[in-house]
């Protein structure tokens, strides 16, 4: 089982980016999925999470600007980021609680991270 994120890059302040993260492997179910970020010298912080029924939770700094969504059929979570600010610059990590086939247990997985840089 692994997570692979894409969609990071360089964007100007006020711009938008969309991150995607797909889970692959021997999966029978995925519970919560989410995004976290870590800026240089800072601790990793919550960006947003979403349950498999679509309930969402956002960090205070991104409320009203970012939207998390998921496609359960594709085992994929998305993060639409609008009105980006320089302080949104960080490495963004996806995270998921994944139920594994054959063992039928749940484990928490992290993706490798994707860089988002907001700068003019």
- Residues forming beta bridges with residue 77, ordered by sequence position: 21, 70
Q: In degrees rounded to 5, what are phi and psi of residue 33? A: -125, 155
Q: pLDDT tens digits, the chain, 120 residues: what are they?
A: 999 999 999 999 999 999 999 999 999 999 999 999 999 999 999 999 999 999 999 999 999 999 999 999 999 999 999 999 999 999 999 999 999 998 889 999 999 999 999 999
Query: What is the distance of C-alpha 107 from the center of its chain?
Result: 17
Measure the CA–CA gap between 80 and 25, rounded to whole angstroms: 25
Burial 10-44 (b: 16+ CB within 10 A, else e): ebeeeeebebbbbbeeeeeebebbbbbbeeeeeee
Comparing C-alpha atoms, which of 59, 92, 60 is closest to residue 77?
92
Q: What pLDDT score does 104 carry?
A: 87
Spatial distance between the Cα atoms of 72 and 77, rounded to a whole number of angstroms: 8
Q: Can you say how many angstroms the Cα of residue 59 is from the centroid of all Cα atoms in its chain?
A: 12
């Amino acid at each position: 089982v692994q997570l692979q994120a894409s969609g990071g890059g360089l964007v100007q302040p006020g711009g938008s980016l969309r991150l995607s993260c797909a889970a692959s492997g021997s999966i029978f179910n995925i519970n919560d999925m989410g995004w976290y970020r870590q800026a240089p010298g800072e601790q990793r912080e919550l960006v947003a999470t979403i349950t498999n029924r679509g309930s969402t939770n956002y960090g205070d700094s991104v409320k009203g600007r970012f939207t998390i969504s998921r496609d359960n059929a594709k085992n994929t979570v998305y993060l639409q980021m609008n009105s980006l600010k320089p302080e949104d610059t960080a490495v963004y990590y996806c995270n998921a609680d994944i139920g594994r086939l054959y063992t039928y247990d749940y484990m928490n997985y992290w993706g490798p991270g994707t860089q988002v840089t907001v700068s003019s």
